[in-house]
């Protein structure tokens, strides 16, 4: 049996991207929380973002929050080998360094 509904799938992807219909005000997709929940050790990010290979564990989800020493040890220079974040959402702060 195939479980597939084009409209439902499209709607879920829009919702996950933060542009779908949501009856709740100010609802946002929290990328940091999702990364920690579903890629707690950072293996998926490490697979697809080789620039961050040297960062251990879940810290890979928030490299801008690491100390200069930790970044240097990992071979990461923000703004050079890996970009600075364009934005940092206030709701991310409660997930940084809470493993």
- Does 59 carry a binding-site annotation? no
pLDDT (tens digit, 9 = 90+) per residue, 6-39? 777 887 788 777 776 666 777 777 889 999 999 9
pLDDT (tens digit, 9 = 90+) per residue, 38-77? 999 999 999 999 999 999 999 999 999 999 999 999 999 9
Looking from the CA of 33 toward its CB, the CA atoms found within 13 Å total: 9
pLDDT attached to residue 1: 54
Q: How many residues does the chain have?
A: 99
> What are the residue boundaries of the structural domains of the chain, listed by start?
28-97
SS3 82: strand
pLDDT attached to residue 99: 47
Domain 28-97: which topology? DNA Cyclobutane Dipyrimidine Photolyase, subunit A; domain 3 (1.10.579)
């Amino acid at each position: 049996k195939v479980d597939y509904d084009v409209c439902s799938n499209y709607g879920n992807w829009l919702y996950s991207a933060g542009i779908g219909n949501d009856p709740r005000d100010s609802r946002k997709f929290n990328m940091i929380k999702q990364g920690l929940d579903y890629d707690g050790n950072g293996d998926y990010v490490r697979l697809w973002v080789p620039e961050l290979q040297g960062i251990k564990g879940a810290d890979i989800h928030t490299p801008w929050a690491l100390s200069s020493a930790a970044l240097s040890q990992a071979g990461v220079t923000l703004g050079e080998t890996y970009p600075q974040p364009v934005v940092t959402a206030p709701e991310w702060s409660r997930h940084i360094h809470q493993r």
